[in-house]
Amino acid sequence: MFFDTLLFSLNAILPVILLILLGYYLKKKGFIEEYLIRKMNQYIFMIALPLLFFYNVYQTETLKNIDIGMLLFSASGLVLFTVVGYVVLLFIKMPTNQKGPVHQSFTRSNFAMIGVSLAAFIGTQETNALLSLSAVLIIPLSNFISIIVLSIFYKEEKTPLDLIYITKTFFKNPLIVGVISGIFLVILKTYLVNQNNVPIILIERDIPFLYNVIRSLSLTASPIALIVLGAQFEFKTLKRAKQAIITSVIFKNLLIPVTMLILTILFIPTNPQYKLLIPTMIALYASPVAVSSVVMVQSLGGDEEVAGQLVVWTTLLSSVTIFASIMVLRMLGYL
């Protein structure tokens, strides 16, 4: 039993670690340069990940069985730890321009790059669809929270929140477009059927070449994303960031994922379907800080060097905490 669990956990986490290390190695050896990293990031964000999200959602046979309450619950941790994080940082002494990046680390995870890859190894087609559907709530909510929090902690003059701009940005986000497109086609599969209850429109049946292209490109998302993530790592000694790094690691790598996983497990006796949320909760809350958080901090006046180190350290330590989480959950029968 123990060795079976150990093997399962290693098979889940090692592909992620090795691909990140490969990216770091290729960057150090000069195989990947900054220009290529930027272009690969664009490909991931504009094409590969949107198609992966679309493909995962499209695999859902029907929306009739989707529990909206589960999707809302999957995003509830963002609201919870937005409040908790703000209160905690009131009592921790660190420069104000570091508090923004630290708080952002509580609610902005790298689930698109790392979480989706993990979910693919530890979950099923059904759980992958749940993760992609959760993205409709997670992506805009985490961005909105980041803007508010960074604005609060930014010392200089704050610009008012432009809700129209935020709304436009939401619908122009390729990841959201991919998820919404998938949902639209699943709605058609669910309700636009003939008298024999057979869907009138099916991409894999009616346009098989397009379906195969989408599936093939979606498979490139996770490996390329992880390689690029490794290539973006920069290790620096920032003594002034010691408190920020410790705080982020304690919450992001330990307290937040443990809390959300325990809450999910507590819901299972009342609704067994919540067991399907376990891979999603690992992907959303055990994943390290998102690389894109550095850009957000830079644009809103925070300490971008500290933000970058939070990405590096939470990513390194997440390999340990995610492995431990998978081991324990597997032994308890939740995976």
Residue count of the chain? 335
**CATH number assigned to the domain covering 2-331:** 1.20.1530
- Taking residues 84-101, what's their average pLDDT? 86
State the pLDDT at residue 165.
Answer: 60
Count of other CB atoms within 10 angstroms of residue 28:
12
Average pLDDT score over residue span 196-225? 89
pLDDT tens digits for range 104-161: 888 888 877 787 777 777 877 788 888 888 877 887 788 778 777 777 776 444 455 5
Residue 296 has pLDDT above 70, yes or no: no
CB half-sphere exposure, 308, CA atoms < 13 A: 13
Q: Identify which of 235, 228, 258, 329 has the alpha carbon closest to the alpha carbon of residue 13.
A: 329
Domain range annotation of the chain: 2-331
